Structure 1
């Protein structure tokens, strides 16, 4: 069989495997995320359910319709979903029960990213089971729509470049396995249908550009774009792409006069189609009241034309960039930062490649018109989103609004990368780049979504081995077993605390965990109020006598006096009056509070000492040098010691700093654990360097001449004070285990 025929015969098989892989991954996203954990999914489902149950569109004055938050949306997706649910005879229940919401959802994740509370399997009611099945069934429809949207793009690319299999597959893979589209295309939302229709519109535009203008073709493409507008208002962003495709399709006509006449008739036809759509939407009271009003447009224009800074537009663009790549949940869950860094580099490569492509004098038709039309669509959609953010003074504009332009964006990226890599004579790297981004789409659910929404797991043997006991009871029904040691850098955003719990009696209330971080100065530097399990595992879900550990991320202020050992105060609050539950010890004694320590270290590079040394105290503590400075008011001296832990330090060392008039006559002294007793040596990590400041205040009266500075350390392992042995750089013992240093 000739190679060209063999290649053509393999195309349906390639499409089949693309569809199968996309459907499988989309369904994996659907079942990985609990219901209601996509932006306004409860409102989208309630809309579709209303139509399915009542057999009509939302009616003004109906209390159920009035309560649907998404009632202002155009109805096409919800009509389609309702027909699908009725065809499957899905049990939708007698009425829609809104989910029990997590009152501590945080759009930054410390208090939990979950919008709703999700009971464990043994606590599900028949109503909850039926609702879950109905939502998953509707998600399946979204997966089907997003999967089938590959077909028009794959087909038109195959018609234009029949001999370029990788070009065809590469562009479709970028579109199909885009992380944000995988997530949004697997949830109950009208974004999935408007994205699919936007891609179909773009496929029609490509066909127009390549095969030339015909009135029938253009009206068909305009009709699809009109359906997108009947799905979501951001479908209007497809119009500039339509006009660009129309203009390119007419450039090859024999007569410019004929082209102009055809252009005018085509635009009139498009306007007529969109007018019909607007007329249909205007009959819907909710859409008319909130969207299709002249006052809405006037307010948008007025707010947009107000003075805005360039930095505002840049911030909005940054949010759009991150969230169009991967933004999950209600827009409050992102993946690992390095993913966005990779995409930033990839986007820059594509932009540079596109600049080179458009500057070329020679064009392999019809690459430039297609890519330029794709860029028009991408820039238009992004520009409208930035304008929306500026008009609303809202930086957070979700990138999913850009999904109708995902097909054009995929072509822009593909051609940009190809041109850029060809300049570097690394054209084959384009395949690796596309494959890597597809693999990334497959990898993200297990890395981000599944762990984020999981309930805490039972206490493991490994956790028991390192568990630090802190056994107390809250209201005699909840036992705090202890905590797992953790360390926090001052350069991070949150203190990571892992507490281990056990329900000793059945719990019917959802008690609230309140955690407060106090520094060594007893000032509060951070706090967190949330349900346990980072919002996922409120106390009424706990299984009787099951021991488990959960994690809390406590935001804290950067002025925490690190390095130091802080204390986290733990309370459980009664939701009825927000008062702390009573705390008792193992013997039934009443306790005022329960705390756990947390080590917060400073990972910045420390300054070098003005007086360098190398002296070892004990097995693991090394003095690298010291600084001596008079206080600004001349009332004493500031002695700063530069310590280093050569290995974990077992001793709880007390550092003494003495000014003496004679070797055995103390004039001023400061004996304390490092950093004013705030950072004991037994918590230091191997290799850690610590600045330890000691203030020596002069007593009243004349200051003696020729003062001597002595430094050392001691501990009391058996109740007796014992100095740590000191050796110098040559390994020689220092007499009396104390160091005499030059002063001042």
Structure 2
């Protein structure tokens, strides 16, 4: 019963978010009517069909309500700029600003366009009486706004002060998000701006499902061209007071987001700019209209509206080869050790009737891109093949990944999923990738005396108890240092030789070390540290390779013995490595 009520609550909140998103579009239209009446529809369409805005409008979040606050405040400010302030506008802005502060802290920046609306255009000093009346009315209005906002939202800031000793609570947020000092982090801005731009228009899931790069470039060129339109001289005056408000709102929130990027790793989120999205879209349409005669403005509006609608349809059908869409996923646990297991639940939705049975692959990849664990299987372990899928039907499928005991740790891995035909290529996503990257997984080392502890028994004579690599990525001609830790289980009477190979396809050897184990006078149970250099061949092609290790006496290899006594072969595979071109 409790789960049903929770699900109902989530659906109700989602519907509420949809209504709020529609209200943002309507307010954008009203702002457009105040600034460029003939472009109001296309300005609203740029918001309505923004793929990221549409995507978040169907989810539980506070970014769409933040956009509503930004659009509402902008509408009142534009009307003040055109008609002057009034007691009704003072009260309206006070209520809106108070609600905005409760919605999201960075909406405090809305005070900047509010002040601009009230303080411009200020009469010149020569008009003393008019100037005094103007300033008196402006100050009175601003005080009313701040007073109402404090009455509505003040309790929240008092709570933060009582709980965290900080009015805004940002100190605690920074602790939770591994925040940093803004000093010296301009590199993060340069690094984060491309992600900020792409996530303003569409990056789905947790940001790991982007649109094709061509889409982002096309949108950038469109926006640059539209804004360049204001440089074109034309007859007729522009509504400069309203345009100043629109531009100020955009620049203010851009400055806020840049500050977020400086202090937080997750600061480069395009949704943080949503409060300024209505202002930005109206600015774009106003600039674009400067390229055309007034009688053809409708054509530009129609093209932009249809183009954005087409982009939204394309973007929100994020597909794998037109066969299926990934709706969500769950990875448990988030931390795993060698020898452990992961459960990956993927929520699929069929998009078309499949005429072939596709295979699902779920891989755990290491930080350097090597496969640590994998599961390749037909959906439902074969009980729900792709040919049985019905378009539009969503279903959950769970896959289990078992990490080998020799997996390298510590490591930061990630899950990727996709589809392929048996013996054929993988299906591609809209952005040209052949897999979708999902959650991060931390691979923790098992407890032990040595790095990467293992218990590999070679014929009851000697045990491999751990290993270490100085690198897992190398170029042809470079050397990988492998350290092996051996423990004799019995008195060593043979001259054992250790082999270590870098193996490619069909066990082709691309690096080799084969030499005696220095075990003279080593008592049973004492550790032998065995260091070996594996020099990657100069002709080794880029790719992923296994490292195999074993023992021999010049002839047969010593068998690896399982705990129950059966033989597992004459070698053990350690971590994979990656060879890259120079």
TM-score (norm 1): 0.44
Q: Secondary structure at the match of 1:274?
A: helix
2:258 maps to 386
Q: Is the 8 A contact 1:245 1:373 kept in 2?
A: yes
Deviations 1:502-538 (A, max 9, x none): 74899x996215599x9xxxx9xx99764x856x9xx
Counting matched residue pairs gives 391
Aligned-pair distance for 1:206? Answer: 1.4
- 1:258 CA drift (Å): 1.7
C-alpha distance in 1, partners of 2:436/2:274?
A: 34
In structure 2, what is the equivalent of residue 153 of structure 1? Answer: 28
Larger Rg: 1
Deviations 1:377-425 (A, max 9, x none): 0110010111122133x364211111111111111221222235669x9
CA contact (8 A) 2:66 2:100 kept: yes
Indicate conservation of the 8 Å contact 1:456/1:550, yes or no: no
CA contact (8 A) 2:116 2:245 kept: yes
- CA separation of 1:676 and 1:463: change in aligned 2, threshold 3 A: farther
- 1:243 paired with 2:115, answer yes
User: What residue number does 2:191 align with?
Assistant: 315
Is 2:86 the counterpart of 1:197?
A: no
Q: 2:466 maps to what in 1?
A: none
Does the CA-based 8 Å contact 2:14-2:58 persist in structure 1? Answer: yes
What SS does structure 2 have at the residue aligned with 1:383?
Answer: helix
Q: Does 1:511 align with 2:400?
A: yes
The equivalent residue for 1:188 is 60
Q: Any gaps of 5 or more consecutive residues in structure 2?
A: 328-345, 362-368, 385-396, 420-425, 429-433, 438-445, 447-451, 455-537, 543-582
Distance in 2, matches of 1:215 and 1:247, equals 16
Q: 1:161 to 1:418 in 2, by over 3 A?
A: closer
2-structure distance, mates of 1:272, 1:527: 50
Alignment of structure 1 residues 261-276 onto 2, 5 Å: 261-276=136-151
The match for 1:346 is: 222
In structure 2, the residue matched to 1:64 is none
Corresponding residue of 1:168: 40
Does residue 398 of the first structure (1) align with residue 269 of the second (2)?
Answer: yes
C-alpha contact 1:421 1:427 (8 A) present in aligned 2: no
For the residue of structure 1 that corresponds to 2:274, the secondary structure is helix
Q: Name the SS of the counterpart of 1:189 in structure 2.
A: coil
- Equivalent residue of 1:207, what SS? helix
Contact 2:158 2:167 in 1 (8 A): no
Q: Does 1:179 find its partner at 2:51? A: yes
The equivalent residue for 1:588 is none
Per-residue CA shift, 1:718-739, capped at 9, x if unaligned? xxxxxxxxxxxxxxxxxxxxxx
The Cα offsets for residues 79-102 of structure 1, whole Å up to 9 and x where unpaired, read as: xxxxxxxxxxxx7x1xxxxxxxxx
* 1:463/1:396 CA distance change after superposition, 3 Å: same
Q: Which residue of 2 aligns with 1:432?
A: 303
Matched-pair contact (CA < 8 Å) for 2:94–2:147:
no
Change (3 A) 1:295 1:418: closer
Deviation at 1:257, TM superposition (A): 2.5
1: CA distance between counterparts of 2:209 and 2:283? Answer: 27
| Counterpart Cα distance in 2 of 1:232 and 1:263 | 26
1:238 shift after superposition: 1.0
Deviations 1:673-729 (A, max 9, x none): xx97989xxxxxxxxxxxxxxxxxxxxxxxxxxxxxxxxxxxxxxxxxxxxxxxxxx
Cα separation, partners in 2 of 1:269 and 1:140, compared to 1, 3 Å: same
Provide the secondary structure at the position in 1 that maps to 2:204. Answer: coil
Q: Distance in 2 between matches of 1:347 and 1:504?
A: 48
Give the aligned partner of residue 144 of structure 1: 19
CA distance in 2, matches of 1:405, 1:209: 17
8 Å contact kept, 2:73–2:93: yes
Distance 1:197 1:250 in 2: 27
CA distance 1:293–1:186, shift in 2 (3 Å): closer
Equivalent runs, 1:486-501 vs 2, <5 Å = 499-501=376-378
Instruction: Give the RMSD, CA atoms, in angstroms.
Output: 5.3
Shift in CA distance, 443/210, structure 1 to aligned 2, threshold 3 Å: same
- Seen in structure 2, the aligned counterparts of structure 1 residues 309 and 191 have a Cα distance that, compared at 3 Å, is closer
C-alpha distance in 2 between matches for 1:417 and 1:160 = 14
Q: 2:274 and 2:53 mapped to 1: Cα distance? A: 7
